[in-house]
A and B are shown apart, each in its own frame.
Chain A
Amino acid sequence: MTVEAEAAIHADPHHIPADADYLTYERGWKSWLTTVDHKRIGVMYLISILLAFFAGGVFALILRTELLTPGRTIMEADTYNEMFTLHGAIMVFLFIIPSIPAAIGNFVLPIMLGAKDVAFPKLNLASLYIYWVGAIFTLVAITQGHIDTGWTFYTPYSTRADNSAIWMTIGVFILGFSSILTGLNFIATVHTMRGPGMHWRRLPLFIWGTYATAVIQVLATPVLAITLALLAMEKIVGVGVFDPALGGDPVLFQHFFWFYSHPAVYIMILPGMAIVNEVIATFSRRKIFGYMFIAMSSVALALLGFLVWGHHMFVSGQSEYATMVFSALTFLVAIPSGVKIFNWLATLYQGSISLESPMLYSLAFIALFTIGGLTGLFLGTLSTDIHLHDTYFVVAHFHYVMVGGTVFGFLSGLHYWWPKITGRLYDERWARVAFSLVFIGFNVTFLSQFVLGSRGMPRRYYSYLDQFQPLHMTSSGGAYVLGVGFLVMAVMFAKSLKSGEKAGRNPWGSAGYEWQTSPRPHPHNFAEQPVFTRGPYDYHLASERELFTGTDAEWDTHVAKKAEA
């Protein structure tokens, strides 16, 4: 290279040295707030959703404490109603929905594609800002006092009660647009930003899952938006679309709400499944079994998710023919879910399995999601649903899917990509301790709720019959163990940030593309544009260098030693 050419490169404001990393390349809070780097945006999302998760978790522990005894334990019934509303709304809208796509997806997806960034980086930053604005509205709703509608905002109660429900619905309306724009960005990115050699059959399955999720985000969320807009106008101008006194129909609200909120369940679970694909393949050191089946089952789940909303309304007074159709369609969901479970098990079979913490969470995901999924069939069956509807059985069922599924998937991904995000390793022993506590605590909390529900304990009740107390106390005890588990995990991650060992490029020895970039990725993800010549699970085609787990310095000594020998 001539001296002039070199000088020109250094003068170029867009040129970034090859050894730069995304965290330290620019410094100061301003550089974070104005960044368009998807990795930094992902990290800011990660911090935001973890704060929301903490808040939602505290509300959950307060709930479980109140339920230790029948009648008053630590708070009045009204406060209790607010607590479960806040727990539900914060966990669903501020944590689970953005958790995997917006935080982890933002970080990993463009790297996996071999792209420098998402298709619309500024829009990506805008989504984050919109999320923050939505979160502020939610906080205002909390300080405005008294929101006790549950996270579903069923009318007429939500429009008759005081105004805080409206603040919350406006907040969720805004959060919805954040979700839509993220989904839109991801679809455009997957379609137009794939690096050389990255054709559709080479897409990592994490991307297939996130892509299917994005389709739901773009097509379902606007329906929630218009529903909440109508709800707000109901309250503010008295439009009367859902008000029976004015000729409106509250059941129509439920149809609209669940037309979004059932697909939203797939917004939550599909990304969790997407992470499990990556982790299972990496820790089995094996090509994933039935790649195309897994990819297509994600798409099938996304489509079927739009056709089953009526199963939330079996006892809401919709026509009995509709309930039959919705029940039948609901059973269809079991097919693509089963396809995934069997493919994961087939991948494990004869794999070279290592049980590090990400793998533990993913294996737990398979078990817990199976329980959550199969108990869903009890609720999709018309006759059993009449008995189980609105009991703790439902609560236990969706917590097995949302926590046992999504949160375990999220934790699996967080442990898995932690070295790539932070460039540091964490203490595996403490990670396993935390896992054990979380796993045991979770099961104790919610298995007992299956029993409670099948014996007739209704959900959302402040008090209960004495005979339910032992099970309620068990459930609360489990919740405390779960809380301690998360505390241990938080300390473990904090220690890793502060003094964790520096990670190599590929600490798990994965064949996945994202592990081929530097330990903490270059601001443009790869210092040089990669060309993909093999699939992300092709362990038989990956070079020794690609699968090497140590740092670059260790690789050099490794090579030198080999040459000596």
Chain B
Amino acid sequence: MSTDAHGNSKFLQHHYDTPAQQFGAAKLGMWLFLAQELLFFSGLFVAYGVYRSWYPDAWVVGSHLLDYRMGTANTCVLLLSSFTAVMAVRSAQTGNQKATGNFLLATIFLAGCFMVVKYFEYHHKFEVGYLPGQHFAPHGEGLVEIVAAARETGVNGVPFHLRTFFGLYFVMTGIHGLHVLVGMFVMGWMWNRNRKGEFSKRYSTPVEMTALYWHLVDIIWIFLFPLLYLID
């Protein structure tokens, strides 16, 4: 155990009696934070449910305008990143400093891939005018796609409330994307702490908590993906 000159553990904070107590508190705190995150997103899911039941046509057409291939690719990327996050935790717990660092880097890389794909999706939507709410003004290729999607799904004309759909699409995926960025930042921080040798078999709590957060980000996407991309 790493200790200072007075027999005090380096990682055990002064107000805890035992490492187990400190770990228990950290874990409970993190789960409460995740509960808080779920309720934060719950407002968006409720709004989604209300407007989907009011404007089913707009939702079906809107969903067809999203690129499900990109969505599927991103889902795979995030699932894989959750796996690498777990492996980072495992490596930290077994005291394999090098593997921990590499798995953290892999997770950050996959998160970056997710954001790049998201960038291309957003870019296309901006170009053809699928903007949220009052800025919704599809033109050129965008209009053609809408008409095609409407025909495919048996909807008459261009649904007015596509703007509501895209409003929620951008808010939901935007806030999720923000969480991905925060996750990348925190994992970079963990990577740096790991590089400095702060984690060991005895103490890997921060890596574990970061991974818990990352799984939440993943799970929220698992719900966003079918609700936005795959409805009929």
Contact = CB atoms under 8 A, between A and B. Distances in A.
Interface string B1-43: 0000010100001110000010011001100110111011111
Interface stretch (A24-32, A82-90, A219-227, A493-501): A219-227
B68 interface: no
Contact of B39 (A115, A185, A193, A219): A219
Contacts of A189: 25
A191 interface: yes
Given A192-B24, A226-B44, A239 B133 contact: yes
B40 A248 contact: no
Contacts of A180: 36
Contacts of A243: 133-134
A230 B132 CA distance: 12
B120 interface: no
A189, A225, A226, most chain B CB atoms within 10 A: A226
Nearest to A38: B15
B171 interface: yes
A185 B29 contact: yes
Contacts of A115: 15
A120 B22 CA distance: 10
B25 A239 contact: no
A200 to B, nearest CB: 15
A120 B171 contact: no
Interface string A448-468: 000000000000000000000
Nearest to A256: B43
B15 A247 contact: no
Contacts of A394: none
B133 A14 contact: no
A248 to B, nearest CB: 7
Q: Which size class do A's interface residues fall under?
A: 35 or more
B133 A227 contact: no
B64 interface: no
B42 A240 contact: no
Interface stretch (B103-111, B160-168, B186-194): B160-168
A246 B164 contact: yes
Contacts of A239: 132-133, 167-168, 170-171
Interface in A483-520: none
Contact of A219 (B35, B161, B163): B35
B133 A188 contact: no
A209 to B, nearest CB: 18
B40 A226 contact: yes
Contacts of B83: none
B196 interface: no
A233 B171 contact: yes
B44 A188 contact: no
Interface string A1-34: 0000000100110100000000000000000000
A248 B51 CA distance: 8
A226 B220 CA distance: 15
A223 B47 contact: no
Nearest to B6: A12
Interface string B99-140: 000000000000000000000000000000000111100000
A397 B32 CA distance: 34
Interface of B: 6, 8, 13-15, 21, 24-25, 28-29, 32-33, 35-37, 39-44, 46-47, 50-51, 55, 132-135, 160-161, 163-164, 167-168, 170-171, 175
Given A192-B21, A239-B133, 15 more contacts: A11-B6, A184-B36, A220-B39, A222-B42, A223-B42, A223-B43, A237-B132, A238-B133, A240-B167, A241-B168, A246-B163, A246-B167, A247-B164, A248-B51, A248-B133
Interface of A: 8, 11-12, 14, 115-117, 119-121, 123, 180, 184-185, 187-189, 191-193, 218-223, 225-227, 229-230, 233-234, 237-241, 243, 246-249, 252, 256, 524
16 contacts: A117-B15, A119-B25, A188-B32, A191-B24, A193-B21, A218-B32, A219-B39, A222-B37, A222-B42, A229-B175, A240-B134, A246-B134, A246-B167, A247-B164, A256-B46, A524-B15
